[in-house]
Structure 1
Amino acid sequence: MASRASETILRRQLREISRNGIPGISAGLVDDNIYNWEVMLIGPDDTLYEGGFFKARLTFPEDYPLMPPKMRFETPMWHPNVYPDGNVCISILHPPGEDKYGYEDAGERWLPVHSVETILLSVIAMLSSPNPDSPANMDAAKELRENYPSFKKRVRKLARDSAEML
């Protein structure tokens, strides 16, 4: 029964995104599977990622919205809050409840009121404001902190390369 409810919620959220749109973002199903979405994000204006086209996957559990989806960039990404394998590490994608390490407040983590729209807006915010103090990619965080010109050059190249791959 939970999967039926999650399917209904996901179909509604996909319809809302398709109808209303989120600037710089498009989303659709992979192989007509409501639990597997392909997302294209355009790098936000006035950021190092500006002009880039970043493809990602959102994979939803059958107990969504009680549990969060996973998001993984398929386009190469250099960002302190994105693991080297492309998995996104932001608070709202972490399971609900208290953080066993005490870093995040329960209110910062996944809540069933979140939607695909709030996830995607959070990812855009993450691209705009990297958090090197809570890194998923230690090398990117270190480069951002210690050699910003090198970090900037690498990210700008990724953004250019991503636009050429289209």
Structure 2
Amino acid sequence: MAVAQSVLLLRKQLAELRRHPVDGFSAGLVDEDNIFKWEVIIIGPADSLYDGGYFKAHLTFPQDYPQRPPKMKFISETWHPNVGVDGSVCISILHEPGDDKYGYETAAERWLPVHTVETIMVSVISMLCDPNDESPANVDAAKQFREDMQKFKKNVARCVRKSQEEL
């Protein structure tokens, strides 16, 4: 029964995004037969280092969505403190619900069933504009962000160019 409810909710969210697109990203299914795997294209936010880029990512939803968060992974190369070298996105909103065992995040900052694809994507776009280098998924990018901003900007610019070529 939970899977059927997840399918209905995901179909509803996809239909809503198709009817009323949200600035900054587009979303669709990787495979029309699998509602649990979405492809998103994030348009690099204006006035950010990622401006002009088109970053492809996959959202993979669990069968018990929205009780648990999806996983997000950039397919396009993305140099960012909160994106692992494998493309995995590490932000609070995508962390399992409940208290953080390390005490870094409050339960309210983590996944809540009220979140939607739109709220996830708005958070990811915000993350691109404002990296959290205190809790990095990519330690090298975080270190470079703190210690050598010129080199960091150069690496991001390379990723932006590459994302434009991959379109």
> Shorter-chain TM-score: what band?
over 0.9
Give the residue type in structure 2 aligned to 1:73. F
| Identity across the alignment (%) | 62
Give the C-alpha shift of residue 30 in structure 1. Answer: 1.4
Give the CA deviation at 1:24: 2.3
The match for 2:147 is: 146
- Write the mapping of 1:59-98 to structure 2, written as runs, cut at 5 A: 59-98=60-99
Distance 2:129 2:55 in 1: 14
Q: Does 1:156 align with 2:157?
A: yes
Partner of 1:12: 12
Write the deviation string for residues 22-60 of structure 1: whole angstroms up to 9, x where unpaired: 112111111111000010111000000000010000000
Query: What is the letter of the counterpart of residue 78 of structure 2?
Result: M
Partner of 2:42: 41
Corresponding letter in the other structure for 2:36: Y
Match of 2:134 in 1: 133
Shift of 1:164: 1.4
Structure 1 residue 141 displacement after superposition: 0.1
> Hey, what's the Cα distance between the residues in 1 that align with 2:166 and 2:119?
27
Output one character per residue of 1:101-127: Cα deviation in whole Å (capped at 9) or x when no partner.
110000000000000000000000000
Q: Tell me, yes or no, if the aligned pair for 2:24 and 2:125 is still in contact at 8 Å.
A: no
TM-score (normalised: structure 1): 0.99
Partner of 1:109: 110
Measure the CA separation in 1 of the matches of 2:20 and 2:81: 31
- Return the offset for 1:165: 1.6
Using the TM superposition, give the Cα deviation of residue 161 of structure 1 relative to its aligned residue in structure 2, in angstroms: 1.4
| 2-structure distance, mates of 1:12, 1:162 | 29
Structure 1's unaligned 5+ residue stretches are none
RMSD: 0.6
Find the aligned partners of 2:109 and 2:53 in 1 and give their Cα distance: 28
SS of aligned partner of 2:36? strand
Instruction: Decide whether the 8 Å contact of 2:76 with 2:163 is kept in 1.
Output: yes
Residues 144 and 151, structure 2, Cα contact 8 Å, conserved in 1? yes
What is the alpha-carbon distance in structure 2 between the residues aligned to residue 7 and residue 165 of structure 1? 31
**d(CA) in 2 for partners of 1:79, 1:66:** 28
Q: For the residues of structure 2 that align with 1:25 and 1:103, how far apart are their CA atoms?
A: 29
| Residues 40, 59 of structure 2: 8 Å contact kept | yes
2-structure distance, mates of 1:24, 1:111: 23
